[in-house]
Each structure stands twice: as C-alpha cells, then as structure tokens.
Structure 1
C-alpha cells in the first residue's frame, strides 16, 4: 500500500481550544495550554471562553483569547447546544476551523474540546459538514496493548448502526489517522468479530469483510482480517474497526476493568503488615504498571470524517490528560491528517458498491441537524 503523500505543516500549527468544556473548565484547560505552549515553541493557541475566566491568558505569547458568552454543559441536550447556545465556547471554538466568507484560510488547523460528546459531534457536523466520500463521522481513540504501544479503535459511539460501507470508511480513516499521528505508513486493520473465520458474524460484518478484502486487494488498506475483543489488547493489529455500539461497550468495559484491577491490587497489598511490606518492595513494578495503564496517557479522541480536524478530550481529564489531547491534535494537524483522510477516501471509493452516495447521505444528515 502506498499512502498519499502529505507534507507536514511548515508554518505554526494553530489550535482552537474550548476552554470552558469538561467537568473542570479553565482550572484544567489553562494549565494544560500553558504547559503545551512551553513544550511547542512553534504552536499557537486560540483560547475560547468567557473573558473573565481567561483573563490570565490574555498576555500569553503565541496565544489569542476569543470571548464566548455561553457554555454547553455536560448534561445539555444536543438541541440546546445546536439551536439555542449559538455563542457557546464549544461552537465558537469549532467555528475557528471554517474558512472566511471571501475564501480566507481558517483561523485554526484543529480544535480541541473536553465538552459534551454528543453536542460536540452534532455542532461540528453542522458547522463543518462531512468530507466528500464520508457518510458518517466516527470517533477514534487508542487503547494500551501488550506490545507497550496502542491500538486505535473506531467507532466508539458516534454511530450505533453501521452499514458495511461505513465500516470500510472507518478503516480508511483509521489508517490515515495512525499514519499521520504514529508515523506508520502501512498500518494493519482488523474487523472486530466473534471469531476469526470469515463465515462468522452478522450479515453486516460478513459484507464489511468482503469490502475490506476488496480494498486490500486494491492496495487501499492493509487488511489483516477478523479479530476478536482480546486482540485489541494483544496489539494484533494497529487498528480495530467496529460499529459505535460495540466500540463504546468495549471502551467502557476496558475502563471499568482497569479500575477494578487497580482496586483489587490495592486491597490485596493492604490486607496486613506483610502485604504492606511487599507493596513497598514491589513499588517500582507497581509504578511502571500504573504508567502503562494510566488512561491519561491516551486521552484525545479524533472525530474523523469532518471537513475540519476535531479532537475530544475526556470530560474528567486533569491538566496532564488534557495536554495529551492537545499533543495528539497538534501531531495530527502538523502531519496533515485532513488531507490524508481526503486522499485515501477518494482512492478507495472505487472499492465501494454503487448506491446512496456519501454526498447525498451527508446532505440529508446536515439537513436533519439544521431542522
């Protein structure tokens, strides 16, 4: 497979940040932004939020503050964010990715928010629209694996019901993401299933497998085959593709299991004096384990398939985790993820069966959001 050539951005990468989103708002986002600027001397930030909350950042170098009078709360319904709060920090931050009325370049290359996921996806799709060749955007993030690396999984909740064509699109977008952010030119793709055999799975999964194999034969993706849930953590493939229902269940199950195992370890080492002494001896190993499974290290999910780069931080992220999301967004923009997705989708369209075009599907979805 020959990935599309995408030259890194030579000028300063500009990130638009929704500073009011998430459970903690500016108390987390501002320290994270300050640390990010210190680590990336060529980056620029557009900080969006209430003026008084962002006053301390007004004098920062390479930083612009844009005022927004409203905040999308974590429990706000999507229609509130979409139709009522039109001057929210989330919406204003996303609008920095839109081109100007006379064709001027967007003010930012990528947007980062820790806000309401449903609202972020809905407003982003309404403002930015979906990319040509993409029916539905997808949410992609990484999970730790046994190879001391990460497995990229998508979709994680944006699309509950997916067609085989959608899963093919997810595979192409995930390949572009891993190529851009991790520098892997030929990442492997696995289709999540209840077994490795091609005869297993629902009709949708079987058909998706056929499309993915056809795309692989055309040298559009590097399709490994069917994988099972445990392969995510084995690191069998670089990318695992599934619908949003399955992906979200897998993500939440993994998060719950990690928290449970950490709790079990603490309980066992706290049982008596001897186990506490053993804990002291095992402290270096425990600290290493904690680092490997720390969810803050892989914070920052990409919303793929839009005509603009958007990254979603976990709502409960602390400053370290939010900085991680900024880092992932920066790497994606610097390595032209948007162009990579566009180019690879166009090259893969020939592997898709005839039917409803992506443009018709996107327009119908955008019209529904605007209604």
Structure 2
C-alpha cells in the first residue's frame, strides 16, 4: 500500500484519536462518505482520519470538503462490492475495507468505520482482529429509539443466524458494556427477547440462557430484568435487549419498514386536502420532532462487539448525516472504557464456567 501524506498534520499522533475509514464502502460511496467525514470534522477537528480507497477518487471529493484537514490517504486498488461474498472478500487484501481493518490490527487506528458489505466486513474483521478471550462469536448491535427519549441497545442483529445459551450470555455482557460506554447508563437493565414473559415459554436455548443469567447475573454484575417481547424493544422496557442474529435482524428490518410506512402514510394524509395541509403547517414543530426521532440517520452506527478492536458498521445506504453519526459512535467508543467493561465481565464469566465444570467433573 502506498501512503500519501496529505494535509498539514498527516503523521499519526498518540495524543489524538485516529479513525480508519473505508471510503469506498457503501451504496453512495465515496461522495456521501467524504461529505459525512467533513460534517463530523466540523466539530471534531482534532480527530485524525486514515482514508482508505482509490487515491484519485478521494482527492477529487476532498476539494469540496474543507473541514477535513488532519488526514492520511492510504491507497487501495480494489473495492469490496456490496454484493460480494464474504469468502471472496477475505481473499482480496488490497481493498479499502481490508486496509481499514488492518490499520486497527496494527494499532495505528483506534477504530474502523465502513458502510460497505456487512457480511464481508464481519468476515474480514473476524479474520484480522479475532475475538476477545471468552467470546465465541462477535455480535452486531443496533440502537433503538424509545418513548423515554433514550435508546435501547439490541444485539445480535445479524452476525449470527443462531446462538446457544452461552453465546446469549456473552451478548448480554457485551451489550451492557456498550450501553455504559455510549449512553452513560450506570446499571443497564437486560432483557432476553422471547415470545412471552413467562418462564415456560420459548425454545430450550432461550430458557436456558435466562436460567444462566438469573443464576450468575449477580456474580457478573448484570442487572437482569427477565424476558421481554417484541413490543418491549420500542417501548424501552429494558436498556439492553439480547437475541440471536436471525430474530434480531428480522426485528430491525421490520421496525425500519414500519417507520417508513408510517412516515409515508402521514405525509400522504397531510397532503390529502387543503384543510389537512393547513393542519400540517400548524403542527409543523411536532412533526419535525417526530421526523427527527424516526430518522434512521440519527441512529446509524452498529458496532461489531467482541472483537480485539473497534469496528463500526454504517448502514450501506446512509447519507452524509448518517455516516457522521457512525463516526460519532466510533469516537465515543475509542474514548471510553468499553473494552475494560467487557474484559472484566468476561473474566468473571470464565470463572463461573470453571466453577460449574469442576463439580461436574467431581461427580464423574
């Protein structure tokens, strides 16, 4: 890889946060990505950016992005397509996505951010960074707006099709650490997504996971609420909602679809006749607040939890505002004790697992 030092302060400093960015990843890359970085840089001028991608394409966009001043361009010849298979992406080591993750692996960046192919990004991140000790599989988290004015952390939303009880407990630990780091919640409440709140409901894996959480929650320092249902996610019943990636991804896409449907229905209704249009003008402040709450760009930035390094996944179809929010998530995590929270609880979990195994071996 060729490194082109552009900007007055291109040299990486240990005194500032460095974000490694896959500039070529996403449906509207590199245009919206550069615009997003520029928007973010307006209020975060001390952050250093590693811009991975096709150098000529990046330089063209930088001319219209005057607030990006502290950066380094790292040229990559190839781009991971949005429809690329993860197995193919892992074999191509001169892509902007590979380079963005490699910078985190080499400890020259605090976090990587990409709006590219989710499956490829997870595969490359897992291959290069590996998982933390005590984590079987990484998970993807999403932030969900709720009526309390806050956000609920939901995981997994797509990294794993299914998860066993031990993995669900790991997700609870990682989700709690994320809620502490990003939303400053001291003792996040944890709910396990199920088809009902009664103990006898749900499949065997989810019931066993709840048994483990209740049995060892206090030892692990977890504030276990119990089972929650689908409607509890949007109502903010708990700060963290744990589920497998298959269920979580369907829930996420269903919520996004419902939000778009409501927005379109409301827009069409307000244009139906002159009286409705007048009412819309009168209630414009309220509608603007609603639009802000429902705007997915305000909640952009899912994190790959459980890796030996920070990776933030921006929505593939994001605009500049959404990508800027993903960068905000990366910056906040980079400045937090997120990994410390996880490491401490994973260490406790390993002790619990050892204590459970020892009596079992003695019985034999």
**Same fold judged by TM-score > 0.5?**
yes
Structure 2 unaligned runs (5+)? 1-13, 358-364
Q: What is the aligned counterpart of 1:50 among 51, 54, 62?
A: 54
| Corresponding residue to 1:65 among 66, 73, 93 | 73
Range that drifts further, 333-342 or 111-120: 333-342
Counterparts of 1:48 and 1:215 in 2: how far apart (Å)?
43
Contact 2:78 2:95 (C-alpha < 8 Å) held by counterparts: yes
Find out whether 1:310 has 2:311 as its counterpart: yes
CA contact (8 A) 1:211 1:351 kept: no
1:5 corresponds in structure 2 to none
Q: Distance in 2 between matches of 1:82 and 1:286?
A: 45
Give the SS at the match of 2:56: coil
In structure 1, the residue matched to 2:197 is 196
Counterpart Cα distance in 2 of 1:19 and 1:339? 29
User: What are the superposed Cα offsets for residues 305-333 of structure 1, whole Å, 9 maximum, x if unpaired?
Assistant: 11110000000000000000000010001
Q: SS of the counterpart of 2:133?
A: coil
Paired residues of 2:220 and 2:345 also in contact (CA < 8 A) = no
Query: What residue in structure 2 maps to residue 277 of structure 1?
Result: 278
Match of 1:363 in 2: none
Q: Is the 8 A contact 2:220 2:348 kept in 1?
A: no
Aligned to 1:232: 233
SS in 2 for 1:47: strand
Q: Quick check: 1:13–1:44 contact (8 Å CA) kept in 2?
A: yes
Ranges in structure 1 where 5+ consecutive residues have no aligned partner: 1-9, 100-105, 356-371
Does the aligned pair in 1 maintain the 2:113–2:311 contact within 8 Å? Answer: yes
Work out whether residues 13 and 330 of structure 1, in 8 Å CA contact, stay in contact via their aligned partners in 2: yes
Q: Which residue of 2 aligns with 1:97?
A: 104
Name the residue aligned to 2:44.
40
Report matched runs for 1:1-371 at 5 Å: 11-55=15-59, 57=62, 60-83=68-91, 85-99=92-106, 106-352=107-353
Question: How far is 1:232 from its partner?
Answer: 0.7
Contact 2:197/2:226, CA 8 A, preserved across alignment? yes
User: Higher mean Cα deviation, 142-151 or 340-349?
Assistant: 340-349
**Secondary structure in 1 matching 2:221:** coil
Q: Could you say what the CA RMSD is over the residues aligned between the two structures, in angstroms? A: 1.6
| Alignment partner, residue 103 of structure 1 | none
Preserved contact between residue 220 and residue 348 of structure 1 (Cα < 8 Å): no
The structural deviation recorded for 1:338 is 2.4
1:219 to partner: Cα distance: 4.3
Could you state the TM-score of these two structures normalised by the residue count of structure 2? 0.90
Structure with greater contact order relative to length (CA < 8 Å, sep ≥ 6): 1
